[in-house]
Amino acid sequence: MAELIVISAPSGTGKSTVCAQLVKQFDDVAVSISYTTRKPRGHERDGVEYHFVDDKQFDSMIENGEFLEWARVFKRRYGTAKSDVEKLLSQGKDVLFDIDVQGGMNIKKRRPEALLIFILPPSIDELVHRLTHRATESAQQIQSRLDAALRELEQGRKYDAHVLNDTVKNAVKQVDFLRKKARQNEELIRLDEKLEDLIAEANSKLRLTT
Ligand code: 5GP
């Protein structure tokens, strides 16, 4: 049976790249395209990275019960449309959700069979480096992403499985391995020790930068 697979990670861990590669490499994997009220960044196109909508459209989708889940992230709203997900599942595809931890937990509540995968950055230095080199964002936006990254890392404890993003190739291989394990109801891979090390490192380093 096709799976719902939530992929979450601290901002800057490269989860969107991993999701894009999974879709490219496996015909039976599709990504759920979220709706958002934020403006497109850089080369983002409507209907590819997100469906970009205004507040009025987002409000009416909430009123009509069209979302499987929605959340406010960095003062903007993001949501997953039920109909898109059902359509992909009916085509026999595993559906990836490239969403934040609140979204992941909400999906798990509504669809307990969902597989929740948390992607870990190789190190905190690497995470800080990636976040501070995004040219599209202001210093204040970067700071709020660093704060969020620390809080998000802690949420990784609640996920079913962990994947280390040392290289995109390895991370993609691991997610593919996990989705096959989940289909067979086999035990999933958790990297609890690595996660705790990262949390401890983030607590000392990120707090110094704030
Ligand atoms: P960004 O603005 O950088 O594309 O995304 C900001 C955050 O919103 C990311 O953590 C992203 O995963 C999350 N996000 C994207 N789509 C959704 C969604 O449909 N629901 C929820 N809850 N979060 C989402």
3 lines ligand 1 (CB under 6 A): no
Q: What is the pLDDT of residue 142?
A: 76
Region 41-60 average pLDDT:
96
73 lines ligand 1 (CB under 6 A): yes
Q: Pick the residue whose CA is nearest to atom 9 on ligand 1.
A: 100
pLDDT single digits (tens) 96-155: 999 989 899 999 999 999 999 999 999 988 888 887 876 677 778 777 777 888 888 999
In whole angstroms, what is the distance from residue 34 CA to residue 128 CA? 26
Q: Total domain count for the chain?
A: 1
In whole angstroms, what is the distance from residue 210 CA to residue 198 CA? 18
**Ligand 1 centroid from CA 14, angstroms:** 13
**Ligand 1 centroid from CA 207, angstroms:** 24
Q: Pick the residue whose CA is nearest to atom 21 on ligand 1.
A: 103
151 falls within a domain: yes
The domain that holds 106 is classified in CATH as 3.40.50.300
103 falls within a domain: yes
182 falls within a domain: yes
DSSP 126: H
**Ligand 1 centroid from CA 32, angstroms:** 11
pLDDT single digits (tens) 55-89: 999 999 999 999 999 999 878 999 999 999 999 99
To test ligand 1's pocket by mutation, which of 78, 82, 85, 141 has the most ligand atoms within 8 angstroms of CB? 78
159 falls within a domain: yes
62 falls within a domain: no
In whole angstroms, what is the distance from residue 171 CA to residue 146 CA? 22
Of the chain, the end-to-end C-alpha distance in Å amounts to 46
For residues 8 and 15, the answer to whether their CB atoms sit within 8 Å is yes
What confidence tier does 204 reach under pLDDT thresholds 50, 70, 90?
A: confident
116 falls within a domain: yes
Please say if the pLDDT value at position 166 is more than 60: yes
**Residue 26 structural domain:** 4-32+93-205
108 falls within a domain: yes
Atom of ligand 1 nearest to the CA of 99: 12
76 falls within a domain: no
